């Protein structure tokens, strides 16, 4: 939730923006609001145009995120699941229709959000979705390769 207190944003008050945003958009938005230059390279983009009733050109059509679910207070969790500590995370790509979840050592999850908006039915193994699952796995690989030099989550630092 963002509110621009400046008068030029008044016309958009109360609007809900349904475009995909990510946490990496916060820093460029703050810098843009302060009139400061956004450094290159920066993965995020300013959200200010949305606050002024505009949609930036070439806005993303999907979001990606990673989650590390290791719990260093409970080291038995790894052994109970037969995973090592570096396998306790997942990466997600989600667009308006589909959600693909990749685990390092477990089978993927794939949800058709139009047919199953509450994500109760994993269709990753369903023959009708085989090509789509493969396509999303490729999208995930491309995204991970683009960000390979800088992991998005680090919980192994005390």
Domain harbouring 71, CATH code: 3.30.1120
Length of the chain: 158
36 and 76 together in one domain = no
* pLDDT at residue 12 is higher than 80: no
φ and ψ at 65, to 5 degrees? Answer: -155, 160
Decide if 140 is inside a domain. Answer: yes
19 and 40 together in one domain = yes
Decide if 1 is inside a domain. Answer: no
Closest CA to 155 of 99, 72, 81, 79: 72
Closest CA to 99 of 88, 86, 108: 108
* pLDDT at residue 5 is higher than 90: no
What pLDDT score was predicted for residue 17?
80
Decide if 128 is inside a domain. Answer: yes
* pLDDT at residue 73 is higher than 70: no
* Structural domain span for residue 11: 7-51
* pLDDT at residue 88 is higher than 90: no
pLDDT band at 154 (very low <50, low <70, confident <90, very high): low
What pLDDT score was predicted for residue 1?
55
């Amino acid at each position: 939730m963002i509110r621009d207190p400046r008068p030029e944003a008044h016309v958009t008050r109360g609007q809900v923006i349904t475009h995909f945003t990510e946490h990496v958009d916060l820093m460029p938005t703050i810098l843009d609001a302060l009139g400061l230059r956004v450094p290159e390279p920066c993965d995020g983009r300013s959200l200010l145009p949305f606050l002024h009733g505009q949609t930036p050109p070439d806005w993303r059509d999907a979001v990606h995120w990673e989650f590390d679910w290791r719990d260093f207070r409970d080291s038995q969790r790894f052994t109970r699941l037969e995973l090592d500590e570096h396998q306790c995370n997942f990466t997600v790509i989600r667009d308006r229709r589909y959600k693909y979840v990749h685990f390092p050592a477990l089978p993927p999850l794939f949800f058709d959000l139009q047919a199953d908006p509450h994500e109760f039915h994993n269709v990753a193994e369903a023959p009708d979705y085989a090509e789509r699952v493969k396509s999303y796995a490729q999208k995930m690989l491309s995204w991970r390769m683009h960000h390979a030099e800088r992991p998005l989550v680090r919980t192994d630092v005390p």
